[in-house]
Chains A and B, each alone.
Chain A
Amino acid sequence: MFNRGSVINVRNVGHNAIDSVLRLGYATRFIVLTLLHSGTSFRRPGLIIRELYFTGVLSMIIILVSGLFVGMVLGFQGYQTLKTYGSESALGVLVSLSLVRELGPVVSGLLFASRAGSAMTAEIGLMKTTEQLSAMEMMAVDPIARVVAPRFWAGVISMPLLAAMFSAMGIYGGYLIGVVLIGVDEGSFWSQMQSAVDFREDIVNGVIKSFVFGIAVTWIALFEGYDAPPTAEGVSGATTRTVVTSSLAILGLDFILTAFMFRGL
């Protein structure tokens, strides 16, 4: 009734399921270890600053440019739709709320995952492949404290800052298109925006979101790198998995966080 091939397939399902639970457990142990060994990187802030340069400063250009363009597109599209109802003056509200609440944290999280997350995975994976991590262990240097923890904190710190830059740049882009190019009244653009955007409800919630995404992306990126098979294919597969998994994690977490934060509004 069953041929050999389908039995192997069924066996693979079970194997994969157990394997993913194992990996999740290992990843949890990994993040706990990272948090426990963070002391070194706080005693030597130079380590974090160096990583902030690679994850934060080098991601700034792409974040600023895409923020500007997303804002400009929102300006065009929002104007087209709002014009139908004669409420072009609400363009500022539309642009700012969609950026601060959703697009800012989510799009900059996705960009951060592909720009900084993949680089982190490749770097740590290559360190493992070339046995630099084992060499550190031989010299009684804990690779988690020396290599992983500074990168983790740099990612967690830079993600909210990048998301804030993205939102601010996007609102400026929306202003450029809406007010400067199309000619929506400048006063109503800003004043309606200010009366609609609440500091606690919208801006702080956006920052919390980007902070959570920062933790998720950095964790996934570092773990994939640390867990990568020490071969060329292993590292490339790990880099791909970082981008895919962290993008899905961002979208899933965003749904959950939005459901909690904006349920009653």
Chain B
Amino acid sequence: MERSTIDLWVGLFVIAGLGALTILALKVGNMGSFTGAETYELSAQFTNIGGLKPRAAVKSAGVVVGRVSDITFDNEKFMAKVTMNIEKRYKFPKDTSASIMTAGLLGEQYIGFEGGADDAVLANGETIKLTQSAVVLEKLISQFMYNKAAEGGNSK
């Protein structure tokens, strides 16, 4: 076989390999969703974040508006401090409330924003005051059991 034919085939091989990697990165992985949209940072404090993880989605009305960038523990207030990167094109009023929700019964957790009525909007680095923590299933069940038990005691 001639040299140039071999070169051609090897070139095709390398292109196919790199193409496969690109497909994996963009179509299969999450590189496509990070198109370098400019973001600003907001933070919020929760008494309990449940199973929230960094890189979890921040949604408002079901639309993804940003991602959780960092979760730390505030050792003075004993609360979790969640830092989020929100896309620049989305603005939220000062009295926006952030709550930790679960997608489906066993799905992953995300932060839901509910916009308020304030005219001023949250700027880079500000903290969301109104927060609602994750629902802890164990607490819910124990509360339910306790109520049931109390009811049983009353009826006697």
Q: Which residues of A contact B (CB under 8 A)?
A: 46, 49-50, 52-53, 56-57, 60, 96, 100, 158, 160-162, 164-165, 167-169, 171, 190, 193-195, 197-199, 202-203, 207
Contacts and interface: CB of A to CB of B under 8 A. Distances in A.
A161 B23 CA distance: 12
B7 A199 contact: no
14 contacts: A53-B13, A100-B24, A161-B18, A162-B17, A164-B24, A165-B16, A165-B20, A167-B28, A168-B28, A194-B30, A198-B30, A199-B30, A202-B29, A203-B29
A8 to B, nearest CB: 52
A27 to B, nearest CB: 28
Interface of B: 3, 6-7, 9-10, 12-14, 16-18, 20-21, 23-25, 27-33, 55, 57
Given A49-B10, A53-B6, A198-B30, A203 B17 contact: no
A158 B13 contact: yes
B85 to A, nearest CB: 16
Contacts of B21: 161, 164, 203, 207
A64 B29 CA distance: 20
A50 B6 contact: yes
Contacts of B32: 194
Nearest to A194: B30
B20 A168 contact: yes
A166 to B, nearest CB: 8
B14 A161 contact: yes
A188 to B, nearest CB: 12
Contacts of B17: 56, 158, 160-162, 164-165
B40 to A, nearest CB: 23
A195 B56 CA distance: 10
Contacts of A194: 27-30, 32-33
A203 B24 contact: yes
A53 B9 contact: yes
A92 to B, nearest CB: 9
A193 B28 contact: yes
Contacts of A193: 28
Contacts of A169: 20
Contacts of A168: 20, 23-24, 28
Contact of A100 (B10, B13, B28, B30): B28
B28 A171 contact: yes
Given A49-B7, A56-B13, A197-B30, 20 more contacts: A52-B14, A53-B6, A53-B10, A53-B13, A57-B9, A57-B10, A158-B13, A162-B17, A164-B17, A164-B24, A165-B20, A190-B27, A193-B28, A194-B27, A195-B57, A197-B28, A198-B29, A199-B25, A203-B24, A203-B29
A158 B12 CA distance: 12
B16 A96 contact: no
A82 B10 CA distance: 40
A233 B3 CA distance: 34
A210 to B, nearest CB: 11
Contacts of A202: 29
A161 B16 contact: yes
Nearest to B104: A87
A195 B13 CA distance: 30
Contacts of B14: 52, 161
Chain B CB within 10 A, most for which of A100, A158, A203 = A203
Contacts of A100: 24, 28
Contact of A57 (B13, B25, B31, B55): B13
Top 9 A-B pairs, shortest CB-CB distance: A161-B17, A168-B20, A164-B20, A199-B29, A165-B20, A164-B21, A57-B13, A57-B9, A53-B6
